[in-house]
Structure 1
Amino acid sequence: MSAGSEHLKDEGTKGQTILAGGIAGLISRFCIAPLDVVKIRLQLQIHSLSDPASHSTVVGPVYKGTLSTMRAIVRQEGITGLWKGNIPAEIMYVCYGALQFTAYRTTTQFLAELDPYRLPPAAESFLSGAVAGGMATATTYPLDLLRTRFAAQGPEQIYKSLRSSVVEIAQQEGPAGFFRGCSAAVAQIVPYMGLFFTAYEGFRPVMAELDHLPFGTGDAAAGVVASVLAKTGVFPLDLVRKRLQVQGPTRTRYVHRNIPESNGVARTIMMILRTQGVRGLYRGLTVSLLKAAPASAVTMWTYERVLRILQETEVAAAY
């Protein structure tokens, strides 16, 4: 073992990493689906909450806060409304989780072999996380767009099924339609995943030493802290991504009928600043943090547990 490899943990085999990452993404997504729907609805809402007079011109619901938005969705669309877009999201999270952890593992192991020019641990974590996030996001982006469009649907059904949505977008918007806002997504996810894994790898050993955290929840606690820090830093790009994802011929048919026409990341940011101020770039941040914390906690806890089970099972089978 080289001197520089002492801080490299056992990431398991490639197959174990893919399976553990996929299971982690599947379970995490189902748990946080309602918060994700609420976040998307709030991000797409453009009218001022502090100016009741502006509500008279609104065509569609006026959401105020996480719990009230959740109650409004259940009342108007039924309990299943909180899981709109869950099918493409589940597929996305499984693929994303598998790709993310595989790319992270591969990049980490590659960087570990760069002795004597090896980067500091924090830099390795940042670079590995950025590469993993960028690759996973670009690959699964069409599913992310479909998730957003289904979650943005109100009582009116725009797309009847996942298959019909793919066919309609392909016919009406072409292949580029599946990648609306992708530049904002990659610009967001690269620093987000870099910051997340840097913070996670930094906090995980500290949390592991806290004896009062049961059942390996030190991994979950580290995931929560890392997620909150990273998500807050890049949130405006996440909001811009959602606004761009619902552009196209169906823009005026979603639950918020007055979503403005947007073209490009920079222009969308400038339009939001001009019409809604800086606060407009942080619509839905609270519920996003409420969602991101448990999502990251469940993801990292499940990933570490499943990976450990797979490793122990392989060792037991060898005997």
Structure 2
Amino acid sequence: MGVGHNETKNIASYKYMLAGGFSGAVTRAICQPFDVLKIRFQLQVESFHHQAGGKYRGLPQALSTIVREEGLGALWKGHVPAQSLSVVYGCVQFLSFEILSSQMSHLLVNGSRFPGGALHLSSDFLSGTLSSVVATVVSFPFDVVRTRLVAQGNQTKLYSGTLHAFLVIWKDKPLTLFRGLTPTLFQVAPQGGIQFSVYNALSKLLSSSKYFCSSPSPASSSNPQTVRPVLSPLGSLLAGSSAGLAAKVAIYPLDLAKKRIQVQGLDKARSEFGKTMQCHSLGDCLYKTWQRESYRGLYKGLLPSLLKAAVTSACHFTVYEQTLRLWTS
């Protein structure tokens, strides 16, 4: 990321990992309710219109229904595996991004005739794509368990908690822990590339304003082109939220398909939520969703997802950048 190219360039690699894990933990604690709402919307087959008979019909109604029927704690359902997912994902993603970005920048600068701006944009996109893929594969079992805990109702529970869910799934069919990995990789690869590219591009743009710039970076004799001023927390929030929104809109139907694939086999536990959908692959899920629910079905839960993406990305980048700044000040 941008910070990795300036004053934090020479800090130990484990600090990138710790900062990424810490930012993931803080972000997850704040944003988990958005995730619960998004998943419930994504898994609802019925329309959100009040005459369609669906359980949820909008953000305020869904929020009040969940709290009334399941208690306030239900907004943090699946928080333990979600927190584990965020910490592991954050550690692996930011560490691998800093390493890949550093190496790739040198390769592109030495072997290309393209302008510096295009080089850095390419480096950010490729590094963001690869680091997101690596982090996803490592942390994916936590994602499956989180989704299944959020998806099940209170009346018919298959899992009593995170550890119980892991044990039941492992005993029954271990590969279930990686169910939905293919659509997830199709999703996170471009999402990671877009997110890091937009964030770093906006960072350089906002750094010209005194309102968003914290302090100038020290010059780097080895690679002066990578030097840029450091964003203030407000600048990081603005750049991070914009990057999250851009990335989420671009890949949202793939995220919806992933969630529906992950809960296959949970029909009984989801009986209180209405109809269920049987699908066997990414293409099958997207086609059936389009056929039965029209193009709007592919964007169910988009509003809470966008709210979550903006807040999550803003928190993630801001906490990460400011944590590294503390270590280098």
Q: After TM superposition, is the score higher than 0.5?
A: yes
Structure 1: distance between partners of 2:136 and 2:60: 29
Over aligned residue pairs, what C-alpha RMSD do you find? Answer: 1.7
* Displacement of 1:48: 1.6
Superimposed CA distance per residue, residues 232-262 of structure 1 (whole angstroms, 9 cap, x where no aligned partner):
01000000000001012x2331252422111
Aligned to 1:208: 207
> Does the 8 Å CA contact 2:20/2:91 hold for their aligned counterparts?
yes
Q: Identify the range of structure 1 (82-91 vs 212-221) with the bigger mean alpha-carbon deviation.
A: 212-221
1:289 is matched with which residue: 281, 284, 306? Answer: 306
1:138 correspondence with 2:137: yes
Query: Pairwise mapping of residues 46-195 of structure 1 onto structure 2 (< 5 A)?
Result: 46-50=45-49, 52=51, 54-55=52-53, 62-114=55-107, 115-118=109-112, 120-156=119-155, 157-172=157-172, 174-195=173-194
Report the Cα distance in structure 2 between the residues aligned to 1:64 and 1:277, rounded to whole angstroms.
17
1:308 Cα deviation from its structure 2 partner: 1.2
1 CA distance for matches of 2:327 and 2:66? 40
Mapped to 1, the partners of 2:204 and 2:280 lie a distance apart of 44
Structure 1 residue 211: Cα displacement: 3.0
CA deviations 1:176-211 (Å, max 9, x no partner) are 111111100000000000011110000012223333
Specify the alignment match of 2:261 in structure 1.
244
Q: By how many angstroms is 1:158 displaced?
A: 2.3
When structure 1 is superposed on structure 2, of 83-92 and 7-16 the one drifting more is 7-16
CA distance in 2, matches of 1:72, 1:278: 26
Is the 8 Å Cα contact of residues 36 and 288 (structure 1) preserved in structure 2?
yes
Q: Which AA in structure 2 matches 1:311?
A: T
Superposition map of 1:246-285 within 5 A: 246-248=263-265, 250-254=266-270, 255-285=272-302
1:282 partner SS: coil
Q: Deviations over 1:111-169 (max 9, x none)?
A: 12214215711110000000011110111111001111111122233211211111111
Residue identity over aligned pairs, in percent, reads 32
- Give 1:315's aligned residue: none
CA gap 1:257/1:63 in 2 versus in 1, 3 angstroms: closer
Cα distance change of structure 1 residues 8 and 212 upon mapping to structure 2, 3 Å threshold:
closer
Distance (whole Å) between structure 2 residues aligned to residue 229 and residue 146 of structure 1: 27
Aligned residues of 1:236 and 1:281 also touching (Cα < 8 A): yes
Residue-pair matches, total? 298
What secondary structure sits across from 2:111 in the alignment? coil
Cα pair distance change 1:51/1:277, threshold 3 Å: farther
Contact 1:207 1:221 in 2 (8 A): no
Say which of 301, 304, 308 aligns to 2:321.
Answer: 304
Structure 2: any 5+ residue segments left out of the alignment?
A: 113-117, 215-231
- Whole-angstrom distance in 2 between the partners of 1:20 and 1:170: 31
Counterpart Cα distance in 1 of 2:208 and 2:154: 49
Separation in structure 2 between the aligned mates of residue 116 and residue 190 of structure 1, nearest angstrom: 25
Q: Is the 8 A contact 2:16 2:324 kept in 1?
A: yes
In 2, the alpha carbon distance for the partners of 1:186 and 1:179 equals 11
Matches of 1:24 and 1:253, distance apart in 2: 33
> Given that residues 8 and 112 in structure 1 are in contact (C-alpha distance below 8 angstroms), is that contact kept between their aligned partners in structure 2?
no
Query: What is the distance in 1 between the residues matched to 2:254 and 2:64?
Result: 27
CA distance in 2, matches of 1:128, 1:252: 42
- Report the 3-state secondary structure (helix = DSSP H, G, I; strand = E; otherwise coil) of the residue aligned with 1:252: coil
Alignment-derived partner of residue 13 in structure 2: 14
Residue-by-residue CA offset, 1:86-127 (whole Å, 9 max, x unaligned): 000001100100000011011101112214215711110000
Say if 1:180 and 1:247, in contact at 8 Å, map to a contact too. Answer: no
CA contact (8 A) 2:264 2:278 kept: yes
Runs of 4+ in 1 over 4 A off after TM superposition: none
The answer to whether the 8 Å contact 2:49/2:57 transfers is no
Partner of 2:223: none
Instruction: Report the AA paired with residue 160 of structure 2.
Output: K
TM-score normalised over the length of structure 1: 0.89
Q: Quote the offset at 1:67 in angstroms.
A: 2.3
Gaps in structure 1 of 5+ consecutive residues: 1-6, 313-319
Contact 1:17–1:307 (Cα < 8 Å) also in 2: yes
Question: How far apart are the structure 2 equivalents of 1:166 and 1:216?
Answer: 38
